[in-house]
Structure 1
Amino acid sequence: MAQTIVVTSIPQFSHQSSIIKFSKRLIHLHNQFHVTCIFPTIDAPIPATLKLLDSLPSSITCTFLPPINKQDLPQDGPLQILLAVSQSMPAFRDSLISLRSSTRVVSIVADLLVSQALEIAKEFNLLSFIYFPLSAMVSSLHLHLLSLHEQISCEYIDHTEPILIPGCVPIRGQDLPSVFLMDRSSLVYELVLRHTKNFSLADGVLVNSFSEMEENTMRALTRNDHNNNKTQLVYLVGPILQTGLETEPKGSDCEKWLENQTQNSVLYVCFGSGGTLSQEQINELAFGLELSGVKFLWVLREPSNSKNVDYQSASNDDDNILKFLPQGFLERTKEHGLVVPFWAPQTQILSHTSIGGFLTHCGWNSILESIMLGVPTITWPLFADQRMNAILLIESLKVGLEVKFNENGIAEREEISNVIRDLMLGEKRSVIQQKIEELKDVAKGALGEDGSSTRTLSQFVTLMESHASHELIKH
């Protein structure tokens, strides 16, 4: 009977695709296992996830749990996801029982926000692991949240002293992830805290980073007791990249345009799959790009006063999106800029020789891509863990520059223009370029045959095989 690892994640593409890519790498290196993904669902499976599953080997299969009706959930994004996961857990347990009747399940790997799966793992005497599709820095925050909750009595955003997270640079309360900036009496914060309490049930922690990049944090995670006197193994198994949807063919408009540009001359501007700007901020960014005189490729989305909009199932009229640009902008910049409505093949773009910089919302996947492809960054965080990711890039790794915002939270055109010119043309560029090239080499080395992340993944597999053998002897 085959040995099967069950993985589960929240109904959000960035999390699902990361754990699927982790599974693909695991199977590639250790093909004695099968992986079954069991995913909670809101309304229907995410189309991008279904598309990603098409490219997977037969040793990875996926089960989508009965959908939770979106109309029966709050419209608040984080709360909607957390409650949908909770309501899906009885179905998850039933699915696991059914799977165990036909295959030998050896462990459960659960996203940090599906910690109820750890309770179910203990019920069936299975090994269980938490999977963080995040930086080690943000993972350390979550793993030490209980002690932070006890140490700080006020709202985090009002805390005046630097917040100390083991192994990380000190940060301000206002730079914590979005869910930590909500009222501490809110249901969202309460649910996140409840997940954190469940972490003590896990036998180990898997993190989508690599030790050479976040060495101090890794040491702190290994050394610090963060779960009630229980020793947990920490595995840094990244960088795991979500590059399975780069389906735009060679010869696309993006590629044709880039082919005509000189090496390292173009700034790529993109705010991820859900990041949005207000109309005022779109105007300032457009004028900033124009003022800089630097060539650019900008992925534009419809403006919104919310910084986080779910575009996974949205259908956008590409031509209509361009109407949100300032009047005459496209005509004035036609010689040195390309605006792409809604979506572009990010990995293909970042790997092109004409790209010299990346203005990014600092989503973790985008950061890993910029590192793996050696592209310096301008940080423009919007929500979630992006402020902490920006701090990692700017203060710890020193591979980018930051955009600064005025008292109204707007980045003004002169500021944008100056930062772009500094990154692309200024004296700082050569130092930043050298640092990210060195980091690129180290990242590729971590994934090599004897790399740190490859060895760590083997240690993870050894633990599962040892537990499986022990259980066979018992029975």
Structure 2
Amino acid sequence: MPAQGHINPMLNFAKRLVTKRVKVTIAIPLSKAKSIETDNSKITIELYSDGFEDGGESRTFVSKLKRFKEVGTKNVSKLIENHQNSKYPIKCIIYSSVMPYVQDIAKQYGLIGASFFTQSCAVNSIYYHVYHGHLTTPVQDPPISLPGLPSLETHELPSVMSVADPDQEPDRSVLHLLTDQFSNVEETNWFLFNTFDRLEDEVVKWAVKQWPEKVISIGPTVPSIYLENGPKASEPDSSPYIEWLNTMDTGSVVYVSFGSVAKLGEDQIGELACGIKRSNMYFLWVVRDEEQHKLPTKFQDDISKKGLVVSWCSQLEVLAHKAVGCFLTHCGWNSTIEALSLGVPMVAMPQYIDQHTDAKFVEDIWRVGIRAKLDDKGIVRREEIENCIKYVMQGGRRDKFKKNAVTWKELAKEAVDEGGSSDRNIDNFIAGLALFS
């Protein structure tokens, strides 16, 4: 799927497969060619046209999905054919779960098909229940009780399930995109989840019962170098923001980022800016270039001694830095599992789709942070932001959140270490590939 939230975990999983002597080729649409970087010479990158080389900004969400399916699948098929007579013919296709039609390509060429789920197992189980009619949308009768999950209020479900008009675009198409992941599960050979057993124990067990010998947790898909213990998790970095972090005390900085897609309104960015400033904490805030005009006038001049605003940073490098004591996040699954894997407490400000459910788990299940509350206009006000940051960063509560976060970090590392649960699952997956002919 041509989105950074799909590309990054797929790339990191590919790196793990390569360490186990599996030949890996990653197929990336030309429109996203600049989004992928790998220093691993054993991973082959193949580019194919998805019909969006012109950017496709003027197209609707529905037309983009249709064109991607039509043009992308045709060119991926050509890519497979080109490899069939090579030294390394393709044996298995691992595809983003929101593209179930790729399983049809796998079947056409007699290949193994593995669906890779880039959201949490908990969230995907909710989509499954909607697809099968166990849960109707829009959801109006909370609390919701589903197998393997805690009791959920309406605002804790994926956002597309509580929209007032279920036929409204693009919400209807997004909902179908997510629930249709389960449209051909009987034909799919494997379900790969970017999680680990201890993190989502009950719902993973539920999934295994649904699809015996198909479901495996292979996460967290975080490069192993960041999971290692020690004073520095990675090679020295001379980026200005890392040099700035190097001057800060341990646990003294709030890292703020809302991912590569979320677009906050100008009012919300203004409240966020004021709330961060009022907390009087040091902070590093990622505001994409196209969003920076929404910042309050002279904000960057006013905070020059307390904070740093950048248009991009290496999130793993920042989360692994000893100076970072808290992550103010939208709670996208990649960001959430990265913070958990690196032992960083969170302030959750979910925006849409799966993020509300992830935030529920951050606060109530994993107990590594808190959720900021919306006002009656759907905005998190400056006072709430200030209070949430202080709540996570100060006093005895800070020690509690950090202790819990470090526990999850240790469990994440244990899962991917040799012989750990995710490592064993990946070995079983590879063994299945070896038996296939």
**TM-score, with structure 1 as normaliser:** 0.81
Please give the alpha-carbon distance, in whole angstroms, between the structure 1 residues aligned to 2:318 and 2:421: 28
Q: Secondary structure at the match of 1:449?
A: coil
Question: Which amino acid in the other structure matches residue 270 of structure 2?
Answer: N
- Distance in 2 between residues matched to 1:84 and 1:74, nearest whole Å: 15
CA-based RMSD of the aligned residues comes to 2.8
Specify the alignment match of 1:301 in structure 2: 288
In structure 1, C-alpha distance between the alignment counterparts of 2:376 and 2:290, rounded to whole Å? 20
**Which AA in structure 1 matches 2:26?**
C
Question: Does residue 1:256 correspond to 2:237, yes or no?
Answer: no
Alpha-carbon offset, residue 329 of structure 1 = 3.5
1:151 to 127, 134, 147: 134
Cα distance change, pair 272–432 in 1 and its aligned pair in 2 (3 A) = same
1:202 aligned partner, one-letter code? T
Please state how far the C-alpha of 1:105 moved relative to its aligned partner.
2.4
Quote how far apart the aligned CAs of 1:74 are. Answer: 6.6
SS of structure 1 residue aligned to 2:387:
helix
In the alignment, what sits opposite 2:220?
A: 239
Superposition deviation, residue 93 in structure 1: 2.3
Structure 2 match to 1:277: 264
Q: Is it true that 1:384 corresponds to 2:365 in the alignment?
A: no
* 1:427-446 residue CA offsets vs partner (Å, 9 max, x unmatched): 32111111111111111111
Q: 1:180 to 1:71 in 2, by over 3 A?
A: farther
Aligned partner letter, 2:124: S
| Residue 109 (structure 2) aligns with | 124
User: What's the counterpart of residue 339 of structure 1?
Assistant: 309
Residues 102-111 or 348-357, more deviating? 102-111
Counterparts of 1:32-51 in structure 2 under 5 Å?
Answer: 33-41=22-30, 44-49=31-36
CA distance in 2, matches of 1:241, 1:135: 15
> In structure 1, how many angstroms separate the alpha carbons of the residues matched to 2:386 and 2:192?
39
Shift of 1:70: 5.8
Map of 1:140 onto structure 2: 125
Given that residues 135 and 208 in structure 1 are in contact (C-alpha distance below 8 angstroms), is that contact kept between their aligned partners in structure 2? Answer: yes
Is 1:302–1:324's contact at 8 Å kept on the other side of the alignment? no
By how many angstroms is 1:249 displaced? 7.3
**Are the aligned partners of 1:38 and 1:62 in contact in 2 as well (CA < 8 Å)?**
yes
Structure 2: gaps (5+ residues):
226-232
What is residue 405 of structure 1 aligned with on the other side? Answer: 374
C-alpha distance after superposition, 1:132-179 (max 9, x if no partner): 1222212323344422xx2344x32x4222333431223234443345
Structure 1 residues 329 and 249: alpha-carbon distance in aligned structure 2, compared to 1, 3 A threshold? same
Matches within 5 A, 1:22-421: 22-29=13-20, 31=21, 33-41=22-30, 44-49=31-36, 52-53=37-38, 55-65=39-49, 67-68=51-52, 75-77=59-61, 80-81=64-65, 83-102=67-86, 103-147=88-132, 150-153=133-136, 155-156=137-138, 158-181=139-162, 183-185=165-167, 186-224=172-210, 231-241=212-222, 250-301=237-288, 321=292, 324-340=294-310, 342-421=311-390
TM-superposition CA deviations, 1:201-247 (whole Å, max 9, x none)? 1012100111111111111111236xxxxx45211001002799x99
Q: State the secondary structure of the residue aligned to 2:425.
A: helix
SS of match in other structure, 1:267: strand
Query: Percent identity of the aligned residues?
Result: 28
1:416/1:27 Cα in 2 relative to 1: closer, same or farther (>3 Å)?
A: same
Measured in 2, the distance between the counterparts of 1:212 and 1:462 equals 23
| One-letter amino acid matched to 2:295 | L
Alignment match, 1:435: 404
SS of the counterpart of 1:269? strand
Distance, in Å, in 2 between the alignment partners of 1:70 and 1:190 is 26
- How many angstroms apart in 2 are the aligned matches of 1:117 and 1:344? 33
Residues 99 and 411 of structure 1: CA distance in aligned 2, closer, same or farther (over 3 Å): same
Query: Deviations for 1:248-272, whole angstroms, at most 9, x for unmatched residues?
Result: 9733321232222221111111111
3-state SS, counterpart of residue 42 of structure 2? coil
**Contact 2:131–2:180, Cα closer than 8 Å, also in 1:** no
Change (3 A) 1:324 1:71: closer
Does the C-alpha gap of structure 1 residues 240 and 71 become closer, same or farther in structure 2, counting only changes over 3 Å?
closer
Report the AA paired with residue 23 of structure 2. H
Other structure's SS at 1:88 match? helix
Q: Using the alignment, how far apart are the partners of 2:294 and 2:436 within structure 1?
A: 57
Q: Aligned partners of 1:58, 1:252: CA distance in 2, in Å?
A: 27
Rounded to whole Å, the distance in 1 between the matches of 2:56 and 2:284 is 40
Superposition deviation, residue 378 in structure 1: 0.4
What is the aligned residue count?
A: 424
Q: Deviations over 1:64-87 (max 9, x none)?
A: 235346687873447624641344
- 2 CA distance for matches of 1:256 and 1:59? 31
Determine the C-alpha separation between the residues in 1 that align with 2:299 and 2:215.
50
TM-score computed with the length of structure 2 as normaliser: 0.88
Is the partner of 2:402 in helix, strand or coil? helix
